[in-house]
Structure 1
């Protein structure tokens, strides 16, 4: 079965099930399977947001998910927005994420009439027993707002990066490679934020950098993209050193350009000390 056919079947089964549940009131599809820009491919999952009387009833157990297909597993998860959901894996490797919230929350959101940020790139109604679900759908789909650069935000990220750089170096010296990899992920988050700011500096504040590095090959400048080839290292000390050095080189180049463009101060003493320590211990 092709993925599109499978997810259409899931949606239809959900609609039929939802109509029969007196405590399920509204449901939406969001994410890639509701987007027009960069629409879903065969590997995209399905994201369903449902509003119910008592979310705990649906969060405490997952047997209700079995109404929609042959369920392999479902894992409870707290998403980045603070909401609770089930990450569900069905037979065939198909994933459906069920985000669950209360009818009270929906009523408050609908009364405001402000579309959810999650819906701004694409969303559609799957079930509506209230007649008001359309209030949360944007009139026009567009990119979501990203964090604009500020002097305070830049200072925090630049100090965080150099703090993490010396921390990573120490773990590599100690051959604590697992710890180094965990902290390197945090370092790369700072690098990504800086890349996003840099691209907006070059192309304008309205330039679309998506989120979490999605479609980065499409929106990042090619010279930056080429340098990204070297910032991820293997699980050994020598290559971890190399990757750290290349990460530092790229980050410092972009962050100094940002500082010069926006007239932000740069922590020269901190940078000098970190570089000296790394040079002495590599």
Structure 2
């Protein structure tokens, strides 16, 4: 049964309650789309939260302090990956990405108190709203949106190298197409060459609108900054115009992946959480059906 969704205020109260109760958490701020008026505001907004902590190793070595948030549907620890395992004795930043059964998501990052100067000295900080400051840290203030993901006019070398990369990748992708190496061609075009196109379009929008231009992370605001014809052409490159056109592909990919990974796990005697996969696929179906669906 679908868990009734907690309200945004309930989530904020919970985040602050955990912070006030745990003496290791010295400050809290909200970042990301919830403090950016230009961002899309809907039911998919995450809670991008930073806990500034004293005693970070103790928190990552025993994360039972996360229990008040409730059991997540799925959690990811991107700083502790198979090819770059996290040193549990270090004081490096550590993130928990948590998606809960009620559809709420918390992207929670721990930053060690001794690293506060690197936060304060960031020349292009992400927007933030201070929610709690037990220390009274000098300089830890709100940061308005529009400072992060800004595009500036390119220098000669940057512009030349960007153009060079685009055309070099064009030739490499063409080779893949002629060979029938579809995956190679799509990777070159959609992962690498596209970045060059977006950068040039951002520069063009900057010329038309003025620099610096706030395009956001991963150029997410760029489409709305382009002239209508440029936006249509970009969308034609990226995806079908129909909003729902990608759902069948996404769900089919999920089922395909599930079947394949189960076969691999069985063949190699590897543990695999098939139940969680089923829950995620159900969540995708629920999201596809729209808000309020059972």
* TM-score of the superposed pair, with normalisation by structure 2: 0.67
1:44 aligns with 2:45: yes
> How far did 1:221 drift?
1.1
Give the structure 1 partner of residue 226 of structure 2.
220
Where structure 2 has 5 or more consecutive residues not aligned to the other structure, the ranges are 80-91, 241-294
CA RMSD of aligned residues (A): 2.8
Please give the per-residue CA displacement for 1:69-118, whole angstroms capped at 9, x wherever unaligned.
3311210125xxx95412111112322101111001125645x6x78611
Q: Which moved more, 1:202-211 or 1:68-77?
A: 202-211
Q: Secondary structure at the match of 1:100?
A: strand
Give the structure 1 partner of residue 205 of structure 2.
199
In 1, the alpha carbon distance for the partners of 2:193 and 2:172 equals 10
Q: Which runs of 4+ in 1 moved over 4 A?
A: 107-110
Give the structure 2 partner of residue 168 of structure 1.
173
* TM-score of the superposed pair, with normalisation by structure 1: 0.69
Please give the per-residue CA displacement for 1:7-57, whole angstroms capped at 9, x wherever unaligned.
322221221121121211111011111223436321111100111123333
1:117 aligns with 2:116: no
Q: Which moved more, 1:92-101 or 1:209-218?
A: 209-218
Give the structure 2 partner of residue 135 of structure 1.
140
Q: Alpha carbons of 1:176 and 1:41: their partners in 2 closer, same or farther (altered >3 Å)?
A: same
Number of matched pairs: 224
Where structure 1 has 5 or more consecutive residues not aligned to the other structure, the ranges are 235-282
> How far did 1:151 drift?
0.5
Candidates 88, 102, 106, aligned match of 1:96: 106
- Does the Cα contact within 8 Å between 2:124 and 2:147 map onto a contact in 1? no
> How far did 1:134 drift?
6.2
> How far did 1:175 drift?
2.0
Give the structure 2 partner of residue 22 of structure 1.
23
